[in-house]
Structure 1
Amino acid sequence: MISHAAYGTDPTNDRRVPVTVLTGFLGAGKTTLLNAVLSGTSAGKIAVIVNEFGEAGLDHDLIEAVEDEIVLMQSGCLCCSIRGDLAGTIADLIERRDDGLLQFERIVIETTGLADPAPILQTLLVDPELARNTRLDGLVTLVDAVNGARTLDAQFEAVSQVAMADLILLSKTDLVSRSEADALSQRLSGLNPTARIERRPLAGQFDPDKLWGLSGLRKDVNQRDAITWTTHALPEADPLANLSGFSKPKAAPFAGSPHDTRISSESIVLDAPIRDSTFDYWLDSLIALKGPDILRVKGIVFLQGIDVPFVFHGVQHVFDPPVPLNNWIGDDRRSRIVVIARDLSRPELQRSLDMLRAHQPKSAMKEEFQSHD
């Protein structure tokens, strides 16, 4: 999967447009968050793609003009609906930008409430024109603290949205008790241990600047962010915690649901560099075994004979070109790999990971396992 040709990739020449996918449950606050994004200018000019303007509920006070199915905002951002297919819509926007008709620095795609985000991520990689001109900057999932647990129980697509996220935004936290919010956060973290979880009463109170630069594959990623992207995320500190001097109430234990038990995550840390042929064979075997059920695979890998590590990422059987971390410092040479999958039993995954362990000194291996099987 990681070819020698890719080892020489120069990420500093990456001029692709960063794309953020915004997904979440119905009523979680995607429209409110979008209006906050479109009213700000700190991230530059943004092109937002929604399914229908009528469903978007854009704040008309922010609208400058409407031209050719494109809404221009006072902030300089723009918003358009999907015309035909997503790939055609993005390609049209980029062509019009290159012709000087539009200006934007990044793209945000809002999905429907119960859409599986995997096909969107694959479209960005598989379509030749989009692969040349765009890159995934992150997947953000909004969760309604009031109805989120029931939605997870009822809709497996909602579980997939959480499992694939880089950032989870938990809204309407003022309408539930702290113990209920903690229990839901615990459940979300169980489904996706690498995603950061932030809480706010209103979706519009989330800082739009935190939506950008979530992927460890971006050209300017630093060593700390790359490691964080592939390891367990720490929850956002609660600014109201212990103001009264009393201990924060513990979250009620989560018993699990049929949908949650279909999701498993596994992380492995290998201290010694891996032979490129061993890594490629492992990845090929994993994809051949259960490719459609692999929600995300990501990691930092050190290969024998190469001084710097590579960040890699894949959705099902489709992978981004790996990015070398040329600014890596220190003596840390550990490879970190995370697999998030559905309907993948522990023995199947363990046999796959054993391919990597077999090529490591026993004293140089440690592994962390988390599963809901």
Structure 2
Amino acid sequence: MFWSLELLFESLWLVLTLLLSDLLATLFPTWHKQWLQNLNAKRRYPLYRESGTPDNALIVVAHPAPNVTSLSSRTAAKWEELLAAQGIPFTRVDLSRMGLTGLRDEWMYRYSKYGKGEPSGEIKWLQEELHKARFVILVHPVFWYDVPATLKAFLDQVMTAGFAYKNLPLHPILVFTLNICQFIPGLRGFLRAYGSQGLLRDKKVVICRTTGGPKAGMRVYGHNETVVASAFRFCGAKVLGIETLDMADTGDFLKSKMAKVEGIKMEMAPKDSLSSMSTRSPTCTPTQDQSPAASTVNVPTSPSLSPTRRPSAVAAQRRVDARLARYDKRIERYVRRMKRIAEREASVKGDGALSGG
């Protein structure tokens, strides 16, 4: 019984400490830095880890064909361009080039679930890059309403127990309270933020996913949330946004479609119509009561082949370009927000150095 009460108080104390940490970080960021350092020095395990750098970004791309022109590669390139323009250092990781797989043996399982053992050199490097980054951008296509296997392997092997999170001590009273509170909409955000001891609370995450079908299909089939967002929230990170780009394929499929459009344009060229008229003109000799204008052969054209009518594929491309432009604007807003966060972090460090001196 005493052990059970001790476990309950330990869980409640940890939740209150996380609440106090978030309150200090919002109202008194300078004090929060010193408070967190002193607290972590006294604890066996840190409350959570501060990012290795205040402004570094990590771009994780999970497209299975990195050499193929795709929306994912275009989105990642746009992030690189805008981050470089704002002076934010970044590292790009293409998971398909690393050969990550799922948990396929016992030592992988034990390290992922319990944090026991030593990770491989590749996993250790990814964890170092994730620890160093203040901002994490994940770019991936949607396969069967979920993430590609390489990104799921990243979650399984990199965001492991002891590195990305620690489970709260379970107690029957806490489990009963959780079962009740899950149906109260106003408390779901609280449970997401304090349902575990997330060790990545210092990180800001943006998720960019691409779909071949309409975005509404995700909600229709009950997949309006993404497992990546849930995983990072469980680990304490703040998800700045989830951006979904749907029905805007710019890869080989669209290129082949545009090639067909160019072929249609060539078929509708005026020289073709003139040559066809010249072959038919001898059978159309003008009579005396016809004016010179009436001697011109008027070949009827169907609306679908009219030279003045824009082909449907060209119109679709214009709509795609407009959608991509709006998508780029949203990415640009995220980058500007990251820049403001990094500048605020730098000013807080400067104030701390001055007060400490």
TM-score range, shorter chain: under 0.3
Query: TM-score scaled to structure 2, two decimals?
Result: 0.26
More strand, by proportion: 1
More helix, by proportion: 2
Q: Whose radius of gyration is greater, 1 or 2?
A: 2
